[in-house]
Amino acid sequence: MTVAPRFQLKNGTLHAEDASLVKLAKEFGTPLYVYSRAALQDAWDSYARALEGRKALVCFGMKANSNLAVLNEFARLGAGFDIVSGGELARVQAAGGDPKKVVFSGVGKQVWEMQAALEAGVKCFNVESEAELERLSQVASTSGRVAPVSLRVNPDVDARTHPYISTGLKENKFGIAIEDAPDVYRRAQTLPGLNIVGVDCHIGSQITEAAPYLDALDKLIALILNLRGEGIELSHLDLGGGIGIRYTNEQVLEPTTLFSQVFSKLDQAGLGHLELVLEPGRSLVGNAGVLLTEVQYLKHSEAKNFAIVDAAMNDLLRPTLYDAWHDVEPIKPRPVTSATPTYDIVGPICESGDWLARDRRLELHQGDILAIMSAGAYAFTMSSQYNSRPRAAEIMVDGARSHVVRQRESIASLFENEYILPVTD
Ligand code: LLP
């Protein structure tokens, strides 16, 4: 059993659904991202079940995986999108997503991005500061439009996750401190070109406990009731994303369990009519993808054994950036014995930080293909061309079929937008 139910051994070979990963690696080369369409559907279904019968909108936090085929799949399932840039908005539009189901988050929205989002008619701007509110009011008024606004409040709760991906604490750059929120709502009411529609928060990512969500919700409920007392009625509540996935043996939150608690709190507070907006990223795609890589060399030294592979930190940054764990599964595994060494799985990049996994007991040979698991989220989207390495291809498997959803970059494309200076004498 792997951490990803749609990636299983069949006759001794790891498959994505019914497609052999050996064949995909041969056909398309490595490093190669492979996604499972059924896994996207499974993850979507877990949210759909949790929200059944309620007024709710799931806006895919697309920074986790912004491939057009992935976005198109979610758009067809009825998803909206949580975007953080004009580029993401353009991707939603190119993938056939509905801008009316888009929420626009992020602390640094620029004028052109606001204009594009207003023109597209997004559902809501998640405003993160008073200065942003003022800019949005100006941009909307100048273009003769009305911007739907939700304030992103920072509820000051500890999501108990990695500090780089924890966002709901006072010291983080995100959102408006919850105690300042009533003042900012009052201010928003006086500004032209704005229509106050909601409140939102996002407290962090890879969250594995319900308590931080419920604590944040309590604070948001108090705020909503307080605003109601002042005659400011909201129509939606956005709880952000953050639900964690299994990278190895984590106990994860089931959407049904978490959101039944959320709905009962809302009902008790007399706020059951509010539309619940969610922005899950990782939990919709994380275990729907793997990164295939080929062992180039095995290097045994006194202190360490290294398996040098053809994927690197430019393809998957999470291990070195967050010290993140990704399971490593050989796609044709050999039995592990007491003589089997442990390996650090490292890439060819000239940095000691270029590692993908450490101290893994694996029976490896040169030429083996490995699957780096849980690589559907924050993997390709965080990749770069560092060391002039073309970015990997992406494949979507559907049953036994496979589709190229992003071509491997060519060497020529690495510098096609660069110019050398004219000759001078
Ligand atoms: N909404 C907002 C406003 C966000 O900032 C994020 C993620 C999400 C939704 C989606 O959160 P999710 O459901 O995926 O946890 N690169 C890091 C994760 C950074 C998350 C940033 N914000 C990683 O690889 O772990």
CA of 142 to the centre of ligand 1 (A): 32
pTM: 0.97
Mean pLDDT estimate for the chain: 96
The reported pLDDT for the residue numbered 169 is 65
**Any residues with CB less than 8 A from the CB of 44 and at least 6 apart, and which?**
58, 74, 77, 79, 284
Specify the residue with its C-alpha closest to ligand 1, atom 9.
241
Over residues 212-270, the pLDDT tens digits come to 999 999 999 999 999 999 999 999 999 999 999 999 999 999 999 999 999 999 999 99
For residue 314, the SS3 value is coil
For each of the domains in the chain, give its residue range(s) and CATH number, in order of start.
7-36+286-415 (2.40.37.10), 105-280 (3.20.20.10)
* 124 is known as an active-site residue: no
Distance CA 373, CA 366 (A): 20
Beta strands in 98-167 (DSSP E): 102-104, 124-127, 147-154
CA of 193 to the centre of ligand 1 (A): 29
CA of 64 to the centre of ligand 1 (A): 7
Confidence of residue 159 (pLDDT cuts 50, 70, 90): confident
Best mutation site among 127, 201, 282 for ligand 1, i.e. most ligand atoms within 8 A of its Cβ? 282
C-alpha separations of 280 from 141, 147, 189, 308, 370 in Å: 32, 24, 29, 34, 28
For residue 318, give the ligand 1 atom closest to its CA: 24
Average pLDDT over residues 144-169: 82
Query: Which residues are bridge partners to 166 per DSSP?
Result: 204
Residue 240 beta carbon below 6 angstroms from any ligand 1 atom: yes
